[in-house]
Structure formats: C-alpha cells, structure tokens
Amino acid sequence: MKILHLDSGRDMRGGQWQALRLHRGLLAAGHESMLLAPENSPLLAAAHGTPRETLRPLRLGHVSRRYDVVHAHDSRSHTWGAVFARAPLVVARRVAFPVRDSAVSHWKYRRADLFIAVSQYVAAELRQAGVDPASIAVVPDGVPIPPTIASGSAILALDSRDPLKCSDLALAAAKIAGVELQFSQDLSADLPHARALVYLTRSEGLGSGILLGMAHGVTVIASSVGGVPEIITDGENGILVSNDA
C-alpha cells in the first residue's frame, strides 16, 4: 500500500511522535510511506533517512494521486486534505475537545473516509458531532518498550507551553509536597532516570506521554480527564487525580 502522511505541527509533540512511529513502522512492514511536514519542523528533521518532503498544501492534489491513502495527523492537515487530496482521506483524531459546530466544520468532517480515534472518549465526541459510527475506528497510540525499566529518583512533568498542560498546577502541587519537579522536553531521554511522571492536563484524548511513562515502569500521576481513565485504573497501574494542587 502507498500512504501519504500529512502533519502541519511546528513542535514535536505526542501527535508528531505518533506520525513518525507509524511512518517508520509502515516502511518496515514493506509499505510505501511518504511523510510531508512543514519546512524546518522538528518532525521533518526527525524523519531524516526516510521518505519525506516539505508539506506544500497547493501541491497535494497532484502529489496525492500517486497514493492509495492520504493520512492527516492534525486539524490543519485534515483541512488541507479535505480541500486538496485526490485519494481516500483518513484522519487521526487525538484531541478530546468537541468538534466545532459550524458549516465549514461539518463539510470538512464529511470529507473524511475514516476517522482513527485515539480513545473511546474521542470516538464519542466524533459521534456527538454527527460522524457516522461506521466511519470511526478506535486505535490507541503505541510507544516503544525500553529494554530495561527506569531506575532513578527524578519526578518528571512535561515541559509544555500549552496552557492546558497545567505546568503551574504541577509546580504548586510540588511545592506543597516539598519535592523537586523536573520539567522534561524529552521524556524518552529523561524517563530512564525517573521514579514518577506527573501528567496534569485539562483535556486529553489519551496521553502518549502517559503510555511512555508506564512503559518505563515509573509511577504515573495523571489527571482524570478525557481518555486517561481508559489506560489508568486508579491505584492499580497509576494514580488518577483531580486538577487541584
């Protein structure tokens, strides 16, 4: 199969890591996979050594004709795919907030042939927006399993500029607890030296960072929102908390 991936992200966040892992996995499985991302984006740089090109929306109509599937990985690339793609459009939906109720949004969502929802929570939001349940597949994110579990003392939190990621709340909680919190820009590099991951958020489709923490064997302390309770059972494989310090 020939798959054309689109991602418009300017940062290397969970969605970009998932797009990169899928791209590499499809290549390893013998498929023809091409990744399009913005010029000078960290995703395009991280995809070095694999088929990749700069994303130019106005050329998608021509380029997409050579592929069996166009896979859009974020909202903006979903829009570009809906307008320009000339192959069946698959859209990854990783965010938990409701679909916009507007004429443009309804048109855009009717253009997709299949939605891949990262959790049952996200799938429910799509159904609420009027998407045909038969056009929704729930496929949780995946993360690499490290060869050894973590053996360190650091308590990590995400270093994110996203106001929904509650950095101020994590700091306030750490102050009350009297512990030092280390903000991480690269969980894969920092988790081997950690004993806990504090993952506070006000909205979450699933949380690939949570999965990465669990894969490293650290205690994950996460907000009980969105799709997070689908992967963490409080007191069994992690700790679910309300969003207060």
- Computed on alpha carbons and rounded to an integer, the radius of gyration of the chain in Å comes to 19
Question: Both tokens of residue 102?
Answer: 């507007």
pLDDT at 164: 84
Question: Both tokens of residue 63?
Answer: 């380029």
CATH code for the part of the protein at 154-241: 3.40.50.2000
pLDDT at 163: 83
**How many angstroms separate the Cα of 170 from the Cα of each of 57, 67, 92, 138?**
38, 44, 29, 30
pLDDT band at 165 (very low <50, low <70, confident <90, very high): confident
Domain boundaries, the chain: 2-138, 154-241
* Look-up of token digits 């009717």: 110
pLDDT in tens, 24-33: 999 999 999 9
pLDDT in tens, 177-223: 999 999 998 999 999 999 999 999 999 999 999 999 999 999 999 99
Instruction: Render the burial of 138-149: b for 16+ CB within 10 Å, e for the rest.
Output: bebbebeeeeee
pLDDT at 84: 96
CATH 3.40.50.2000 fits 2-138, yes or no: yes
pLDDT at 162: 82
Mean pLDDT of the chain, nearest integer: 95
For residue 23, pLDDT beyond 90 = yes
Q: Angle of helix 208-215 relative to helix 14-28, nearest 10 degrees?
A: 70
**How many angstroms separate the Cα of 120 from the Cα of each of 85, 117, 229?**
27, 7, 10
Question: Are 2-138 and 154-241 equal in CATH topology?
Answer: yes
